Structure formats: C-alpha cells, structure tokens
C-alpha cells in the first residue's frame, strides 16, 4: 500500500458504515517517514477524541497499524505495525467496549484476558509485549479493526436491543 499519496493532515476518523471499516487491511511493507507521519496524526486524533486506541482503517487507510495509549501514563502512546496477537491464558472476561467509529454505542465483549503482541514500532523495530491488564482488551479491539471486525459484530441480543436506535441513526447518516 503506497503511503506517499496520503496527506496526514487530511485524515479524520470515519464512522460506521464506511466500507473501509469492513475491509481486511494489508500489511505495511516499509516503515518510512510517510508511515510515521500517519502514525503521528493517528496519535493526535486518538487523543483529541479521548480514545485509548485507534486503528488505521478508522482513518480510512487499509493498513495493518494501530495506536494505543494508557490514559494513566501520558507517554505519548504506542504505535503497532503488522501486529500479531496470541492469547497466553485460557481465562476470558466480559467488559463493556466503545469505539470511536461507533459513537454512542457500548457493547459487552468477551475476550481472552492475557495477550502477547508482536509487531513493529514506528522505527521499524520488532517489539513484543504481554499483559493481562486492560491494554490486552484494547489490543484485541484494535486488531479486530485490521480484520474488518467491529464490536457490533459481537453483540448479544440484549446489546442488539439497547443499541438498535444508535446503530440505525449511524446507518442512516
Ligand atoms: Ni474501535
């Protein structure tokens, strides 16, 4: 996917039902200045929106890249490129998730608690991390975006009911 055509300043968060959110993303071939500029813009958009994670498809780019931050620890955030996730423990937990591309919608999602992640950082270096804290959930949510999966695909019948109006309003534009 050529990065040189993208003007990072023009990137904005797109909402469901934008088709890019449903498109499985392609690996980033080379971590260069253009990719870093997009990552910086994504970090900026995530902070502005008071989010804790943002995936490239959410800014209209079908790239396997996401950014995260820990609101307790303002270290500028993390960039994950071509991430691969692996559960490290069979324990699963259910918790409520929102999504910057689904304003007004909350869904209870059951996910593995402990996750190991491997990927590249913004310098193209291989990075690995493991946690059983909330960030493991954020990684999984953002990684779903890279596969074209949204939290509304993971709704129980109860969540489907309580979010029906919000989803309909989004889909009507
Ligand atoms: Ni999301």
For 9-31, write each residue's pLDDT tens digit. 999 999 999 999 999 999 999 99
Q: Quick check: is 86 catalytic?
A: no
Q: Please tell me the distance between residue 31's alpha carbon and the centre of ligand 1 in angstroms.
A: 23
What is residue 123's predicted lDDT score, i.e. its pLDDT? 97
**Selected catalytic residue, list 44, 93, 142, 171:** 142
- In the chain, which residues have pLDDT < 50? none
pLDDT value for 4? 59
How confident is the model at residue 74, as a pLDDT? 75
Cα Rg of the chain (Å, integer): 16
Distance 52 CA to ligand 1 centre (A): 9
**Ligand 1: centre distance to CA 164 (Å):** 18
Q: What is the pLDDT of residue 5?
A: 81
Q: Which residues lie closer than 8 Å to 37 by C-beta, 6 or more apart?
A: 6, 8
Query: What was the pLDDT predicted at 2?
Result: 55
- Are 6 and 30 within 8 A, CB to CB? no
Q: How many CB atoms lie within 10 A of CB 172?
A: 7
pLDDT at 1: 52
Structural domains of the chain, ranges and CATH numbers in brackets: 8-172 (3.90.45.10)
Rounded CA gap, 140 and 114, in Å?
10
What's the pLDDT at 22? Answer: 98
Q: What is the whole-number distance in angstroms between the Cα of residue 4 and the centre of ligand 1?
A: 25
């Amino acid at each position: 996917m050529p990065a040189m055509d993208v003007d990072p300043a023009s990137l904005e968060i797109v909402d469901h039902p934008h088709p890019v959110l449903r498109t499985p993303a392609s690996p980033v071939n080379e971590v260069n200045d253009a990719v870093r500029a997009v990552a910086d813009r994504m970090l900026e958009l995530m902070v502005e929106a008071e989010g804790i994670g943002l995936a490239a498809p959410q800014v209209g780019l079908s790239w396997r890249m996401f950014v995260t931050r820990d609101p307790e620890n303002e270290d500028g955030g993390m960039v994950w490129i071509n991430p691969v996730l692996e559960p490290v423990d069979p324990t699963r937990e259910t918790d409520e998730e929102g999504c910057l591309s689904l304003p007004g919608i909350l869904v209870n999602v059951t996910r593995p608690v402990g996750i190991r992640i491997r990927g590249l950082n913004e310098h193209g270096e291989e990075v690995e991390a493991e946690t059983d804290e909330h960030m493991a959930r954020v990684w999984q949510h953002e990684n779903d975006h890279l596969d074209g999966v949204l939290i509304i695909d993971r709704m129980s019948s109860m969540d489907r009911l309580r979010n029906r109006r919000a989803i309909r309003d989004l889909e009507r534009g």
